[in-house]
Structure 1
Amino acid sequence: MAKNTWEIAKKAIEEHENIFIFHHIRPDGDCLGSQFGLRELIKTNYPDKNVYVLGDNGGIFPFLVWDFDKFDEIPKEHFNNSLGVVVDANSSNRIQFAKYILDGNFTHMLRIDHHPVDPDINYDYTWEDATYAAAAEQVAYIAMKAKWKVTEKTAEYTYLGINTDSGRFQYEYVQQRTFDVMSYLHEGNNFRVWDVNFPLSVRDEKKVRFSAYVLLNYVNDGQVLWFHASKKVQKKFGLDENSANDVNIMANIGDCKIWVLFIDQPDGTIRARVRSNGIWINHICEKYAPGGGHEVASGATCQNKRDMKHLIEDLKAEVRKHAKN
């Protein structure tokens, strides 16, 4: 069930002079696209406001410009009448540079998110709606409803988020509204989806070889497919924890219900990217903190191989439970 509407986000933005936008840890196309798309919208339609983006892109999507701001270089007076905005995220353990929020630097806080989660941050304004395919779709929807001008840069950023989080428009949350938003992104500018689609389609040869290896070596255990991208495997293909993360290599193979990609992290933890083609898995992932997300697209954190085994067993139990209903 949605919490509030687009209008609460517009109201929050209009009432503050200084806007600071945050994204989640381990950034993806949606959190980056919604973050920079919102920045461009505010700068275009409210040129007197100061807008800052905090975080980093982790080296992904290099075909777009990711000019992040440095917190320590921001004029102190801009923290007056300030609005901290969190897009595509919720709780502090999921937000990059959350310490700036927890330290109370901002007058008020706004959250724009499509994850159905109760956060540990006391937001003054919240627009949460899990029926959206992407947070970037929410951002673009605000622009459409508010009749904001959309520049080519805005369209590129928000389209990146919509495209990647919807699996190129194939997931169930894609609806007429999604295409209404897409149509609006084309108005009054020279935006072409090809300019984003083509660089997204270019495949790194190392990743292609990695994908082939995953397909030859995944484990099928009780309709749960899984593969462990260990540090050894990452090194074998010249990848790191960010580039060896395509969980959907194993999507919808045979009669599988859930697929999981475990990825060794530099800090010794093991990131689990979990996907399903119908069975809700976010409540299971929440047990392996930090974890959670969408009903059929979530993440979890394992401390060791024992946790990996427990997570797989929990997911298998959910498959059996689903089969009985």
Structure 2
Amino acid sequence: MITAIIEQIKKHQTIIIHRHVRPDPDAIGSQGGLREIIQAACPDKRVLITGENDSEFQYLIQMDEVRDEDFEDSLVIVCDTANQPRIEDERFHLGNTLVKIDHHPEVDTYGDLSWVDTDASSTSEMVFELFEVWEKDGAVLTDEGARLLYAGIVGDTGRFRHPNTTEKTFASAGKLIRYNFSRPDLYEAMYEKPIDLVRTEGYVLSNAEMLPSGVAYIKLTKEKLEEFGVTASMTASFVNAFSSIQGVKAWVFFVEEEEVIRVRLRSKGPAVNELASRYDGGGHPMASGASAYSWEETDALLGELDQLCRNYPEKQA
């Protein structure tokens, strides 16, 4: 499959790379890292990355201005996106050929070529694997490409703490840090927070609710976010704040946006991706996202998570 994807890259003059909405470092890192690899190997090609620019990730890369006509006879590659409704920029279907590269459990089979590896820590790790195959045919990885892929791996593994971190992950990261970029600068950019966000995190930790089943949760209304002067997307930076609470099996953040309540699910044991799929979402067994459209619906989801944790053997938590 990797070879087939590389052949499609060689075949097309224009390549447009997408990722998912509400991006994270892996989505942007794999998207930008892949562009760096293709552009270095094929400098005569047009390689564009599309999506909204997110101020939170301006330290990584800026998106390109992509016109409708750019999609004509193009190769479209979608990184880090399990299902089509979550693809940023709905024009992904306008290209000549569609490729999916992803590490999430497959919930939507799409693309003329689909490379899904659920054993990979991140899509950035997969893109580095693609590079290593292509390297045998002369491809090179720029320092900037290495920085972007390393950021993606760090982001999706929680700085190599999550169970998705494998021997292969460490091997890939070990090769990437040989390139010329500053890891201290990257870590600082990834994890520094404005004071308003730190105060919000303090509020979250002070007001977390804990159920006897091992479920921790917090509800953040629009009014509360406005009080602290932060946006809903900014709260993603401390979604793992409950991970160190003794006795917690799973936790959930309910964050109200304009028209939806964003649901962020995390777990130390019980698989939460099937629960997320019942609430217009999905993701990994230990980390998923969903949507609710009323606070009553969040209560229903919380009840299901409570039951899931009650049924999860204590010795496995």
Q: TM-score, normalised by structure 2?
A: 0.92
Q: TM-score, normalised by structure 1?
A: 0.90
* 1:17-64 deviation per Cα after TM superposition (whole angstroms, max 9, x unaligned): 221111101111110111111111100011122111110232112223
Deviation at 1:320, TM superposition (A): 1.9
- Look up the equivalent residue of 1:211 and give its one-letter code: E
Pairing 1:130–2:152 present: no
C-alpha distance in structure 2 between counterparts of 1:313 and 1:71, whole Å: 45
- Look up the equivalent residue of 1:152 and give its one-letter code: D
The DSSP-based 3-state class of the residue aligned with 1:263 is strand
The DSSP-based 3-state class of the residue aligned with 1:7 is helix
Q: What does residue 161 of structure 1 align with?
A: 152
Equivalent of 2:56 in 55, 60, 71: 60
The DSSP-based 3-state class of the residue aligned with 1:260 is strand
Deviation at 1:182, TM superposition (A): 1.8
Q: What does residue 250 of structure 2 align with?
A: 258
Q: What does residue 240 of structure 1 align with?
A: 231
Deviation at 1:13, TM superposition (A): 2.0
C-alpha distance in structure 1 between counterparts of 2:174 and 2:156, whole Å: 18
The DSSP-based 3-state class of the residue aligned with 2:240 is helix
Deviation at 1:93, TM superposition (A): 1.2
Q: 1:12·1:125 contact (CA, 8 Å) conserved in 2?
A: no
Pairing 1:211–2:207 present: no
- Look up the equivalent residue of 1:117 and give its one-letter code: E
The DSSP-based 3-state class of the residue aligned with 1:322 is coil
- Look up the equivalent residue of 2:72 and give its one-letter code: F
C-alpha distance in structure 2 between counterparts of 1:118 and 1:15, whole Å: 29
Q: Cα RMSD over matched residues?
A: 1.8
The DSSP-based 3-state class of the residue aligned with 1:249 is coil
Deviation at 1:184, TM superposition (A): 2.7
Q: What does residue 101 of structure 1 align with?
A: 92
Aligned residues: 310
C-alpha distance in structure 2 between counterparts of 1:253 and 1:9, whole Å: 43
Deviation at 1:6, TM superposition (A): 3.2
Equivalent of 1:223 in 214, 226, 240: 214
The DSSP-based 3-state class of the residue aligned with 1:140 is helix
C-alpha distance in structure 2 between counterparts of 1:46 and 1:288, whole Å: 42
Q: 1:111·1:123 contact (CA, 8 Å) conserved in 2?
A: yes
C-alpha distance in structure 1 between counterparts of 2:168 and 2:4, whole Å: 19
Deviation at 1:145, TM superposition (A): 2.8
Deviation at 1:179, TM superposition (A): 2.1
Q: What does residue 51 of structure 1 align with?
A: 47
C-alpha distance in structure 1 between counterparts of 2:244 and 2:271, whole Å: 15
Structure 2: unaligned runs, 5 residues or longer? none
Structure 1: unaligned runs, 5 residues or longer? none
C-alpha distance in structure 2 between counterparts of 1:58 and 1:199, whole Å: 14
C-alpha distance in structure 1 between counterparts of 2:184 and 2:114, whole Å: 33
C-alpha distance in structure 1 between counterparts of 2:185 and 2:244, whole Å: 29
Greater Cα offset, 191-200 or 134-143: 191-200
The DSSP-based 3-state class of the residue aligned with 1:308 is helix
* 1:219-255 deviation per Cα after TM superposition (whole angstroms, max 9, x unaligned): 1123111101111110111101111233111113111
Pairing 1:89–2:66 present: no
C-alpha distance in structure 2 between counterparts of 1:243 and 1:181, whole Å: 29
C-alpha distance in structure 1 between counterparts of 2:133 and 2:172, whole Å: 9
Equivalent of 1:14 in 5, 10, 13: 10
C-alpha distance in structure 2 between counterparts of 1:7 and 1:307, whole Å: 45
C-alpha distance in structure 2 between counterparts of 1:297 and 1:185, whole Å: 25
Q: 2:215·2:305 contact (CA, 8 Å) conserved in 1?
A: yes
Q: What does residue 263 of structure 2 align with?
A: 272
